[in-house]
């Protein structure tokens, strides 16, 4: 491990020198503005001072205690001043914390310049997975090093939004594939029936399609009545399927309709048997598009077993509901990246046909950075 102080006319140049003189894996301990030269206090030059250390953690066994200040000084052949002693002491303390198994709330942010720390902290506060935060921060740092001038906090924030949008732009964000049958599946309480009514209303009122409903949710009388109420307001028919074998007949009854929206029962889909039973019904229809509905506020540990069980079904895209009931949006992005699946819609309230948004990568970046939640 070696510590080095580097002074340069600009922060990007200082980072470039750290990269060359200390190494690609250098850790920035601190950065500050200093003034040098001048005559009688005048004509001083602004300089940027960076203190960096090369920390080869991958070569140190986990059970080796953190290096002492004396050992660091002997290895580097330096005699650190009081300021550097303080920094080295903090580094040693951090190593001891890691060795003891303690974890900081925002780990490793101190290695980045202040604007990047601010962005990374915001991403962590939004519960974006730490692995994604690290990759975004590294991209920001690389851009910072290559910049002709020191980026502002706002410029860094905008660049982070762009990087985040690019990460999820690999998925299919189109609203619909225009298949005839549209099924919404998902656990109890996520708002499937209301969301289905919003989609049907848009198709009937905006696209002027001939629309119908099929409901498989015979577990809750209230769900059937709710769907019938929406159907009455939209003046569209409803077929209630009580037995799996009746689904084909209901679908045949709507042979001359453009779009048929299928409501399904909310069940504990952490249990694979319920997903299997649902799949047996819906898999009989080839011209089918299926959306898995999840609430924005669901915990990822609860979503994971649901997603795992639904792997046996052909889920086309996600829908996130109740975005108006939370201020934390990182889990949406985590789920899309983990399961490589886009969310086509986000709902923001109970109003039908309003309160539903067709998504884009940029929309999720806006949510994360506070521009899409109002």
* Residue 96: its H or E element: helix 82-99
Using a cut of 0.75, tell me whether the model's pTM lies above it: no
Is a pLDDT exceeding 80 seen at residue 306?
Answer: yes
Nearest to 290 by CA among 318, 270, 252: 318
Average confidence score pLDDT of the chain: 79
Q: Which of 87-96, 106-115, 292-301, 313-322 has the lowest mean pLDDT?
A: 87-96
Report if residue 305 sits inside a domain.
yes
Report if residue 170 sits inside a domain.
no
Last residue of a domain, one of 57, 86, 103: 103
Q: Looking up tokens 């949710």, which residue turns up? A: 217
What's the CATH code of the domain at 245? 3.40.50.300
Joined together, the tokens standing for residue 230 give 């929406």
Q: Coil, helix or strand for 67? A: coil
Together in a domain, 196 and 316: yes
Last residue of a domain, one of 55, 82, 103: 103
Nearest to 218 by CA among 312, 134, 287, 281: 281
The domain tally of the chain equals 2
| Residue 1 binned pLDDT confidence (cut-offs 50, 70, 90) | very low
List the Cα angle 239/231/325 in 5-degree steps: 115
Domain assignment of residue 301, given as a range: 181-368
Q: How confident is the model over 11-58, as pLDDT tens digits?
A: 778 777 887 888 766 776 677 777 776 655 455 677 878 787 775 544
List the Cα angle 105/322/278 in 5-degree steps: 105
Q: How confident is the model over 48-89, as pLDDT tens digits?
A: 787 877 755 443 344 434 444 444 444 444 555 555 555 566
Distances (CA, A) of 174 to 178, 262, 289, 336: 10, 20, 12, 14
Three-state SS sequence of 299-344 = CHHHHHHHHHHHHHCCCCEEEEECHHHCCCCHHHHHHHHHHCCCEE
């Amino acid at each position: 491990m070696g510590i080095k102080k580097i002074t340069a006319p600009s922060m990007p140049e200082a980072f470039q020198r750290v990269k060359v003189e200390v190494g690609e894996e250098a850790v920035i301990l601190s950065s500050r503005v200093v003034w040098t030269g001048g005559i009688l206090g005048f004509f001083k030059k602004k300089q940027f001072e960076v203190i960096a250390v090369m920390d080869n953690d991958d070569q140190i066994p986990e059970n080796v205690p953190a290096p002492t200040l004396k050992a660091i000084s002997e290895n580097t052949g330096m005699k650190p001043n009081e300021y550097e002693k303080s920094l080295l002491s903090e580094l040693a303390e951090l190593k001891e914390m890691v060795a003891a198994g303690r974890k900081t709330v925002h780990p490793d942010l101190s290695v980045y310049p202040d604007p990047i720390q601010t962005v990374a902290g915001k991403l962590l506060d939004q519960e974006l997975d730490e692995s994604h935060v690290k990759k975004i921060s590294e991209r920001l740092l690389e851009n910072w090093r290559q910049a002709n001038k020191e980026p502002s906090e706002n410029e860094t924030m905008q660049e982070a939004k762009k990087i985040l949008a690019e990460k999820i732009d690999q998925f299919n964000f189109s609203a619909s594939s225009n298949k005839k049958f549209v099924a919404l599946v998902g656990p109890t309480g996520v708002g499937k029936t209301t969301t289905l009514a919003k989609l049907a209303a848009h198709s009937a009122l905006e696209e002027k399609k001939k629309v119908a409903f099929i409901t498989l949710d015979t577990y809750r009388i209230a769900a059937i009545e709710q769907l019938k109420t929406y159907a009455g307001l939209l003046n569209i028919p409803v077929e209630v399927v009580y037995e799996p074998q009746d689904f084909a007949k209901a679908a045949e009854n709507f042979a001359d309709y453009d779009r048929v929206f299928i409501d399904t029962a909310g069940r504990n889909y952490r249990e694979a048997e319920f997903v299997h039973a649902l799949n047996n019904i819906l898999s009989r229809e080839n011209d089918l598009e299926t959306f898995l509905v999840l609430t924005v506020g669901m915990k990822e540990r609860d979503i994971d077993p649901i997603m795992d069980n639904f792997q046996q079904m052909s889920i086309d895209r996600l829908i996130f509901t109740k975005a108006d009931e939370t201020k934390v949006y990182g889990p949406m992005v985590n789920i899309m990246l983990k399961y490589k699946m886009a969310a086509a819609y986000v709902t923001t309230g109970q109003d039908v046909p309003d309160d539903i948004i067709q998504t884009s990568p940029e929309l999720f970046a806006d949510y994360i950075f506070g521009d899409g939640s109002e």
